[in-house]
Chains A and B, each alone.
Chain A
Amino acid sequence: MVQNSEEFDRFLNIFNQLNKSKFEQLQSFMDDFAINFNLFKDGSFLERSFPFDMIPRIIPKNEFELVEKGLKQRVHALNEFLNDIYGDQKIIKDGIIPAEFIFSSKAYNPAFHGQKVSKNIRTHICGIDLVQNSVNNKWTILEDNLRVPSGASYPLSIRQAYRKVYPEIFEQMKVEKIRYYPNKLKEMMDYVSTGGINIVLTPGRYNSAFYEHAYLAKQTGSTLAISSDLEVMGDKLYLKGYNGKKIQVGAIYRRLDDDFLDPLEFDPKSLIGVPGLINVYRSGNVAIINSVGNGIADDKGIYYFVPQMIKYYLGEDAILDNAPTYLPYFPKDLEYVLANMDKLVIKDVAEAGGYGVLFGYKMTKTEIEDLKKIIIEQPRRFIAQELIEFYDIDCLFDGKLTPRKSDLRCYVVYGEEIYVWPGGLTRYALEEGNYLVNSSQGGGFKDTWVMG
């Protein structure tokens, strides 16, 4: 089912009168400027522009106000949770989350217990995935991404092109400005900086989202660096200038996972990390954005507990719902999951990017039986969710509006205050009926217009 609104109808009225021959200018913009989300397929690197749809997702103002409020609340609680879990661990002592559930997670890193972070902020940049439930119209949280969420640069880039090609739409519709996102990022980086320049650390040119790394570095006035550009001397981190000067780094917006950050601390085979970086971090001489060890908070199993975290840390009820979720770790939930496998979506908590997601209704009896055995053996490894009926979104295929599954990634920046970006990355599945919209699964994107 596709949800429409007065605002969307208004957009369509304007859109239908547009000069369609200019559509190609938007695609040319993507190609000429190589606005890419690259893929690795069959062991090969494929450089490709990110597929996009020119019909935006339109969110009425009142709807987004609730989303904004809910996301601020959620990210605030998640930050409190991380400070607690790497600190006093009161939430465990008070019995809200079972200790075993935390300590058995691969994403919890005990080596960072007691590690202080600049300004007590750990969830600097969060990408929260939502869908709009078609039964009750409520926006529902699907997933929290508190490690290295990507995607913000794509709506920023396409909006810029859209405004040039079709300024008349923006003259007639009051759409919230999204251009201030990089300013908010910069303010946040400056706020948590321990003194020195700001860096965006990229794995390099062959990373899927390299375009985004370069874009955000440019827009925030940061220096884009790969590991060999940086050097640890003593307990400080420096950029190696071309003229032999060493420039101290105060904040590092890393675009690589914890495991690759520092070969002396994590995976010794990592060639994209900076040897000694974690020692600098431990000494309090650099802010790492997002903080090390955040994975415990966006572990799919921990997701289940977020509404309880909100109550525990903030004394409030969660404004935004979670998708109905079951934890096979709890015997009662295990019983339900095993009895209803064909109706549920089973997710491996250690996976991301749409990997490790199994739809019960697509599985054969043998596959279900095999999976049951694994779940019984490793209940902590999985969660199960009801398949939510959420609205499809209209996409333009061959000149016709066609419904597709989609989600919305909202971005929240936590600096001196918590800022919810009035827009987001709408991802959609290219194939009909496909529920996986992730960019790494070949999905496309569209801009998200929050009405002012």
Chain B
Amino acid sequence: MGNGVIMRYLSIRNADSLYWVGRYLQRFEIVAKESLKSFDFIIDINFDDGKELFAKMEYNVSYSSAKDFLHKISKDLDNGGLLYNIKHARENAIVLRDIIDDDAFSSINIIYNELILSDTIDPQKLEYLIKELDRFWGLVFFKIVRGKTQAFIEFGQVTEAIDLKLRLFGDFSMILFDLEKLNTLGKILDKDYIPVELRSSDIDTFLDIINSKISSVIKYDS
């Protein structure tokens, strides 16, 4: 409080943006990695692999070749493609520039600039962008002193990981570790947090619960 001591407080808006930075970046990462796998399949194993992948995320994509697939997914600004996700991550990060590490912000910005300025996106370029994202995660999470800033990003990241893994693979055993992590983070952010238990076998119902957990951590109506 004032007079000589630096203390930074997280507003409702800050916490919400941190959460969404984590979600959009996690979605970017999973979509990028799965798109690289599909790229390989499209070449000579299953031409429709890309369509099948994105249908699970409720996106329609059409392409004429593996290269065309990767390009469209990378440049897509409207339907949940890579540019869409990084743009939204960046918008949230911009309003957090007073809070997040400068180098971490620059990683998001570099990915965005590369995607928006490059004429073509090939697998090597995409791999480079994924490495840049790794740099972001490293800069944010591997700090000696960690605080709620990181915890909110991580809460968003793990929420998205659960969401996408269940949508893409439909296998609850793949999210056990993520769920444990989500509950640990929830407790760090809110002492009254009620952990999510893996009871339902209905994915949609379970995802509704997971996706609404942030509302119990951030007191939006206060």
Contacts and interface: CB of A to CB of B under 8 A. Distances in A.
B95 interface: yes
Interface in B190-222: 190, 217-219, 222
Contacts, number: 93
A251 interface: yes
Given A215-B97, A218-B97, A240-B222, A223 B11 contact: yes
A60 interface: no
Interface string A191-204: 00101111010001
Interface stretch (A14-22, A26-34, A275-283, A378-386): A26-34
Contacts of B13: 226, 228-229
A284 B14 CA distance: 28
Nearest to A225: B11
A197 B97 contact: no
Contact of A33 (B9, B14, B106): B106
A218 B14 CA distance: 13
B11 A32 contact: no
Contacts of A242: 10-12, 14-16, 217-219
A429 to B, nearest CB: 28
Contacts of A205: 91, 94-95
B102 interface: yes
Contacts of B190: 243
Contact of B1 (A197, A217, A222): A197
Contacts of A197: 1-2, 7, 9
Contact of B2 (A33, A34, A195, A239): A195
Contacts of B9: 197, 223, 239, 241, 247
A34 B98 CA distance: 13
B3 A223 contact: no
A251 B2 contact: yes
Interface string A23-46: 000000001111000000000000
A241 B11 contact: yes
A33 B113 CA distance: 11
Interface residues of B, number: 33
A33 B1 contact: no
A414 B113 CA distance: 40
B120 interface: no
A34 B105 CA distance: 9
A217 B98 contact: yes
The residue among B12, B13, B98 with the most chain A CB atoms within 10 A of its own CB is B98
Interface string B1-30: 111101111111111100000000000000
- Most B-side CB within 10 Å, residue of A32, A229, A243: A243
Nearest to A34: B109
Interface string A178-213: 000000001000100101111010001100001100
B133 to A, nearest CB: 15
A46 to B, nearest CB: 14
Contact of A223 (B98, B218, B219, B222): B98
A204 B17 CA distance: 14
Which of the listed residues A186, A198, A204, A250 has the most CB atoms from chain B within 10 Å of its own CB? A198
A198 B2 contact: yes
A32 B103 CA distance: 9
A225 B4 CA distance: 20
A214 interface: yes
B117 to A, nearest CB: 10
A131 interface: no
A236 to B, nearest CB: 13
Contacts of B8: 221-223
A126 interface: no
Contact of A244 (B4, B98, B219): B219
Interface of B: 1-4, 6-16, 91, 94-95, 97-99, 102, 105-106, 109-110, 113, 189-190, 217-219, 222
Given A32-B110, A197-B1, A247-B9, 19 more contacts: A32-B106, A33-B105, A197-B7, A205-B91, A210-B94, A215-B97, A217-B98, A218-B99, A221-B7, A222-B8, A224-B97, A224-B99, A228-B13, A240-B11, A240-B12, A242-B10, A242-B12, A243-B219, A244-B222
16 contacts: A31-B109, A32-B106, A32-B109, A33-B102, A197-B9, A204-B95, A222-B98, A223-B9, A224-B97, A225-B11, A229-B12, A241-B11, A241-B12, A243-B219, A244-B222, A251-B2
